[in-house]
């Protein structure tokens, strides 16, 4: 007799979550479960609530109703240190407050794992060096972070959250300021990181084609309360994306490659569909 497959333990769960901004409802009564090994892209037009949702999933913002669970426990029941060991957050537009080396900045994210007097151990330094190597930043480790370009600083911020070694990553626009080849390098690194160690990645992104290529799943927000969640190529379709973004998109194919591109003529029904 074959053994029944045991479902994976959820990494993150949103339970009937409603998010509002003023009088607008960004997300209405949303319930979904995210599992280890999945790479999720949160997509949607400007103002649809991507940053708000990531803040709520990270436990930094209390939903208007509903709640978020990490590893099956309500996120507000975790102690701050234990929660930081379970999930790492990369906020959007992070600014450097002081001068420090790239290595020291990355090492800051080891704080949840330090004990006693808080001195770093060999394993903490190894984690920092591994994160820098993963993102091709080893040559910059002694540079002052304030001397870096915007794209270099963005990669340092991503290395820091990898160094935190949490099984769940929440990344708000991690590809901003990056040129195309660094965007691809970072997404490839995140895919390997998630799949090799069965961890979860949730990131927001404006490039639907990069999301279709690298993410396993997508969550598409329309900014008016609705959301579509599922396998990336079932969600980021011409029909659903056109309605969410208020502009007609078509899918083109070249052999095994696909891309969503704007249609040559705009249909007014799309622009009116996004009105609150």
Residue 5 has pLDDT above 50, yes or no: no
**Domain-embedded: residue 110:** yes
Model confidence pLDDT, tens digit, residues 175-190: 998 999 999 999 999 9
In which band, very low, low, confident or very high, does the pLDDT at 240 lie, cut at 50, 70 and 90? Answer: very high
With contact defined as beta carbons under 8 Å apart, do 274 and 224 qualify? yes
| CATH number of the CATH domain containing 181 | 3.40.50.300
Dihedral (CA of 155, 160, 162, 168) sign: negative
Query: 139 and 51, same structural domain?
Result: yes
**Domain-embedded: residue 5:** no
Query: 269 and 198, same structural domain?
Result: no
Query: 257 and 194, same structural domain?
Result: no
Helical H runs in 121-171?
122-134, 150-163
**Domain-embedded: residue 132:** yes
Query: 248 and 204, same structural domain?
Result: no
**Domain-embedded: residue 91:** yes
Residue 59 has pLDDT above 70, yes or no: yes
**Domain-embedded: residue 93:** yes
Are β-strands 168-171 and 200-204 bridged in parallel, bridged antiparallel, or unpaired? parallel
In which band, very low, low, confident or very high, does the pLDDT at 94 lie, cut at 50, 70 and 90? Answer: low
Query: 113 and 95, same structural domain?
Result: yes
Query: 265 and 228, same structural domain?
Result: no
In which band, very low, low, confident or very high, does the pLDDT at 29 lie, cut at 50, 70 and 90? Answer: very high
Query: 257 and 164, same structural domain?
Result: no
Query: 151 and 92, same structural domain?
Result: yes
Query: 120 and 196, same structural domain?
Result: yes
Q: In the chain, pLDDT over 90 holds for what percent of residues?
A: 79
Query: 271 and 232, same structural domain?
Result: no
**Domain-embedded: residue 6:** no
Residue range 231-253: mean pLDDT, rounded: 95
Model confidence pLDDT, tens digit, residues 118-148: 678 889 999 999 999 999 999 999 999 999 9
What tokens were used for 129? Answer: 């060096």
Query: Which DSSP letter does residue 3 get?
Result: P
Count structural domains, the chain: 2
| Coil/strand/helix, residue 152 | helix
Residue range 58-72: mean pLDDT, rounded: 96
Query: 249 and 176, same structural domain?
Result: no
- Structural domain of 255: 238-276
**Domain-embedded: residue 168:** yes
Please give the C-alpha separations between residue 165 and each of 140, 151, 208, in angstroms, as whole numbers: 21, 22, 28
Q: What is the pTM of this model?
A: 0.90
**Domain-embedded: residue 65:** yes
- What DSSP string describes 115-128? -TT----HHHHHHH
In which band, very low, low, confident or very high, does the pLDDT at 257 lie, cut at 50, 70 and 90? Answer: confident
Query: 242 and 108, same structural domain?
Result: no
């Amino acid at each position: 007799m074959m053994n029944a497959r045991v479902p994976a333990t959820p990494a993150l769960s949103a339970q009937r979550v409603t998010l509002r901004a003023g009088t607008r409802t960004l997300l209405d009564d949303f319930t979904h479960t995210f599992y280890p090994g999945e790479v999720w892209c949160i997509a949607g037009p400007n103002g649809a609530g991507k940053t708000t949702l990531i803040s709520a999933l990270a436990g930094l913002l209390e939903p208007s109703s509903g709640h978020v669970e990490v590893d099956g426990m309500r996120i507000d029941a975790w102690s701050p240190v234990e929660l930081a060991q379970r999930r790492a957050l990369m906020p959007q537009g992070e600014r450097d407050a002081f001068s420090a080396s790239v290595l020291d900045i990355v090492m800051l994210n080891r704080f949840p794992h330090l004990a006693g007097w808080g001195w770093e151990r060999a394993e903490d330094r190894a984690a920092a060096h591994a994160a820098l190597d993963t993102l091709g930043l080893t040559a910059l480790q002694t540079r002052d972070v304030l001397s870096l370009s915007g794209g270099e600083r963005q990669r340092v911020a991503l290395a820091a959250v990898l160094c935190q070694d949490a099984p769940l990553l929440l990344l708000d626009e991690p590809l901003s300021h990056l040129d195309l080849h660094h965007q691809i390098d970072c997404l490839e690194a995140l895919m390997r990181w998630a799949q090799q160690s069965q961890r979860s990645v949730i990131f927001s992104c404006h490039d639907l084609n990069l999301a279709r290529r690298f993410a396993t799943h997508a969550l598409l927000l329309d900014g008016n309360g609705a959301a579509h969640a599922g396998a990336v190529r079932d969600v980021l379709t011409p029909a659903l994306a056109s309605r969410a973004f208020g502009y007609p998109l078509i899918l083109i194919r070249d052999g095994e490659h696909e891309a969503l591109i704007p249609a040559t003529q705009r249909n007014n029904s799309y622009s009116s569909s996004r009105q609150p």
